Amino acid sequence: MVNTPPPSSPPTKNVSFAAADQVAPTPLLESPCPSPSITTTTTTTTTNSSTSTSAFSKPPPPKRRRSSLKQGLQMPILPPKQLYQHPDPLVRRLRLRDSYGNQVDLETRLRDTKVILFVFGAAWPGSSPEPYNVVESFAKRNPHRLTVVYVSVDSTESAYERQTRGKPWLSMEWNDGSNLGTSSPSASSPLPDPPTPSEPFLLAGDTDLEEDMHQTDPTGSLYLRPYSRVFLAEKFQVLGVPNVAVYHLGKREMLSTHARLELMKGEKAEGTWEKWEKGERISFSASDLVYSLRWSLSAAAVAASYVVAVRWGGAPDIVGKLSDQLTRNFLGH
């Protein structure tokens, strides 16, 4: 006797964000599992034999990929084309605003740009403004061929605005899901979550299924999911701020994900720009190592000179006497 159970329900159909008149990009959901197999078992007894066919093994439901849009919501409207159309595979994934808070036309604003500096930063209490002053001074040297993009790691929108309004740089979109709260408002945390982003930004931990789309769409005309600030920080492996990443637009290549601020200071600034403009990487030389350790090396030299003066020059050991006195006072002798 053959027992044939009812077939399982078909897997969920994939859904993607795309305009009606546009070729749909790579689906946002993972592709369904392969077709299930049929398992046949044969059971034999002393009186009769029977063959039974087990049910179709039910495939696990496809994983729903995380999105900066809340579950159940769809992208209300496709952004204007000038906000996402650009031939560069990285630039087309950015949503930028100018120093007045207006959205940026990518192709128009970056027409003459050769190098993009991504500055990951935050205006925390007690933090020094010196790194951002260095970047600001460096940006003013080459206002047309160099574009600075501020990537905020600030905890509040007001801090983000202080770091971007009236500054000589662009900034990545604030309302991209990077600061979405994980809990509902309560008596202990009465502040509501930030507004829901209008686009499905890729967040930290997401897989970029459209990373190679530029190979079949070199003009950058199709809509692809944009990068959020946290996704870009993860992509560039940013572990702390301030952090500067250098991208050459012509070569479509990252020259550095952790550029040293010393390269943009004083006499080094001009040489640094010449190399970056040509798309050349700047290696870490022995002189750079000495410069970065200058204070430690200076302290070591002073200490060595003191030891030599005390042991062989007959100088009084003031530090030793002071150390002995502090030890006796501490031990109560």
Q: Does any domain span residue 183?
A: no
Percent of the chain with pLDDT over 90: 47
* Same-domain pairing of 235 and 157: yes
- Domain count along the chain: 3
* Same-domain pairing of 123 and 150: yes
Asked if the model's pLDDT at residue 42 lies above 50, the reply is no
Tell me if the bond preceding 195 is cis, omega within 30° of 0: no
Q: What is the pLDDT of residues 143-154, one digit of tens each?
A: 889 999 999 999
Q: Does any domain span residue 187?
A: no
* Same-domain pairing of 4 and 125: no
Instruction: State the chain's mean pLDDT as an integer.
Output: 77
Q: Does any domain span residue 73?
A: no
* Same-domain pairing of 121 and 5: no
Tell me if the bond preceding 62 is cis, omega within 30° of 0: no
Q: Does any domain span residue 75?
A: no
Amino acid letter for position 173? E
* Same-domain pairing of 146 and 222: yes
* Same-domain pairing of 283 and 234: yes
* Same-domain pairing of 119 and 249: yes
Q: Does any domain span residue 74?
A: no
- The CATH number assigned to the domain holding 159 equals 3.40.30.10
Do 229 and 152 touch, CB atoms closer than 8 A? yes
Asked if the model's pLDDT at residue 80 lies above 50, the reply is yes
Q: What is the pLDDT of residues 61-76, one digit of tens each?
A: 544 445 454 444 455 5
279 Rama class: left (phi>0) / alpha (psi -120 to 50) / beta: left
Q: Does any domain span residue 316?
A: yes
Q: How many whole angstroms separate alpha carbon 112 and alpha carbon 277?
A: 12
| Domain assignment of residue 280, given as a range | 81-177+195-289
- Residue 322, C-beta contacts closer than 8 angstroms, at least 6 positions apart: none
Asked if the model's pLDDT at residue 60 lies above 50, the reply is yes
Do 226 and 175 touch, CB atoms closer than 8 A? no
Do 282 and 275 touch, CB atoms closer than 8 A? yes
Q: Whole-structure pTM over 0.85, yes or no?
A: no
Scanning the structure block, which residue is given the tokens 């971007």? Answer: 164
* Same-domain pairing of 136 and 221: yes
Residue 141 belongs to what H/E stretch?
A: helix 130-141
Q: How many whole angstroms separate alpha carbon 25 and alpha carbon 69?
A: 18
Which of residues 60 and 81 earns the better pLDDT score? 81
* Same-domain pairing of 28 and 98: no
Asked if the model's pLDDT at residue 327 lies above 90, the reply is no
How far, CA to CA in Å, does 333 sit from each of 8, 39, 89, 328? 86, 87, 72, 5
* Same-domain pairing of 21 and 59: yes
The terminus-to-terminus CA distance of the chain in angstroms comes to 99
* Same-domain pairing of 107 and 203: yes
Q: Which of 5-19, 51-65, 146-160, 277-291 has the highest mean pLDDT?
A: 146-160
* Same-domain pairing of 169 and 278: yes
Q: Does any domain span residue 72?
A: no
Q: Does any domain span residue 313?
A: yes
